[in-house]
Amino acid sequence: MLQDGRDARATIQAGSLCYFAYAMKVATHDLPQAHEHDQGHQAVPSDPSLRVKALESLLVEKGLVDPAALDALIDAYENKIGPRNGARVVARSWVDPAYKERLLTDATKAIEELGYGGRGGQHMVAVENTPKVHNLVVCTLCSCYPWTVLGLPPVWYKSAPYRSRAVIDPRGLLLEFGLKLGEDVEVRVWDSTAELRYLVLPERPPGSEQLGEEALAALVTRDAMIGVARVTMPPPESHS
């Protein structure tokens, strides 16, 4: 029984270490290639990054962590699991005008109607994109983010260049993300805080009129709900 107890303790410790490595890597893993030029060409990782890399290397060496699995887990929470909640909120607002009105009036309650709430989503505000208004969300102080509807914040959202340029040059920043806005479109920048967090309600894409709620939700991306992208229809399939 003593051996079994040791095995159980080792399993718990390994699980805790793996979770710690995952959480730390989420907080510090390198910025995407597209934004490297904003990092001042930093060649040596920051001290927290060095610690995380050392911890990850140790866990990998001991066979406790599969780096590919860790990356896949981060990708799932950043791009799939978390943002699907917000996508369902957006899709519901597109097909249900009464729900959309409730969402824009009291986003916290409207989001709770779909079963989403809790830490990071207690005080929500939804801001609507229109042909003449485009909304962009940032947290200028740290990385306040609506976890309950968007999952893990992307690394670039927490970066100093994004946080500063979203305020100083939002149009230039959006252009780097591939989003070019007309001069007649007003850009509104919303600063998230620990007390108040924002969800962008993107415009429904043209050509989606025949799609149901589930199909619409599949179109909505995390980036569109932050405001650095539009929701678009997939290209038509070519038949050769």
Catalytically annotated residues: 139, 142-144
Task: Decide if 199 contacts 121 (C-beta within 8 A).
Answer: no
Longest dimension (CA), the chain: 73
Q: Name the token pair of 212.
A: 């149901």
Point out which residues pair with 137 in neighbouring strands.
190
As a whole number of angstroms, the distance between CA 218 and CA 207 comes to 15
